[in-house]
Amino acid sequence: MCRSIKTLREPYTTAPTDADIHAAALQYVRKVSGFREPSRANAEAFEAAVDTVAAATRHLLTGLVVSGRPTG
């Protein structure tokens, strides 16, 4: 769906940073919303969605098991 979102789990990335997670969340929300930059009327909802997706991404990455070992 979003070619610019990189894989954030091992072995592709050893330790994704908050910036990596935020960038992936931002790309996802941009794609889904159709906005590169939201209007002022949509900025609050847009940023809240980025924060929510980033939190879900952190939760996912800490719960994954790769090759029998936890990643988080």
For 17-66, the pLDDT digits (tens) are: 999 999 999 999 999 999 999 999 999 999 999 999 999 999 999 998 88
- Where helices occur in the chain by DSSP H, the ranges are 18-33, 40-63
* pLDDT for residue 5: 80
Q: Please give the single-letter amino acid code of residue 32.
A: V
Mean pLDDT to the nearest integer, 2-28: 87
Picking from 4, 2, 20, 48, the residue whose alpha carbon sits closest to that of residue 38 is 48
Report field, pTM of the whole predicted structure over 0.75 = yes
- Are 11 and 5 in contact, with CB atoms under 8 Å apart? no
